Structure formats: structure tokens, C-alpha cells
């Protein structure tokens, strides 16, 4: 993936969180992803 592609992926992920779009957030993650937003406990 190019630098531009990585930046786009991060922007898309952040945008999904800003919109609280759970379907989009989950679509951007693999099934075995672990999301860890400090200082909260990891979500599986």
C-alpha cells in the first residue's frame, strides 16, 4: 500500500469513529482484531 493509500485508510477509520458508524468501523477491521484505545481495556 502506498503512503497515500495508508493515509486514506487512517482517515476513513477516523471518520467512521467520528460518525459512530459501527458497521463501517467493523468493516475496516479483521475478525480477529483487538482494538486498544488507551487508557481503556482492549476490546475483542
Helix (H) or strand (E) run with residue 3 in it: helix 3-18
**Total-model pTM:** 0.72
Whether the ω angle into residue 39 lies within 30 degrees of 0, i.e. cis, is: yes
Euclidean distance between CA atoms 36 and 44, whole angstroms: 9
Number of domains in the chain: 1
| Predicted pLDDT of residue 43 | 77
Please give the pLDDT value at position 41.
84
Residue 16 makes CB contacts below 8 A (sequence gap 6+) with: 24, 25, 28
Q: Which domain holds residue 7?
A: 1-44
pLDDT < 70 regions, the chain: none
Amino acid at each position: 500500500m502506498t503512503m497515500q493509500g495508508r493515509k486514506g485508510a487512517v482517515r476513513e477509520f477516523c471518520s467512521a469513529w467520528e460518525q459512530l458508524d459501527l458497521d463501517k468501523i467493523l468493516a475496516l477491521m479483521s475478525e480477529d482484531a483487538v482494538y486498544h484505545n488507551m487508557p481503556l481495556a482492549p476490546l475483542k
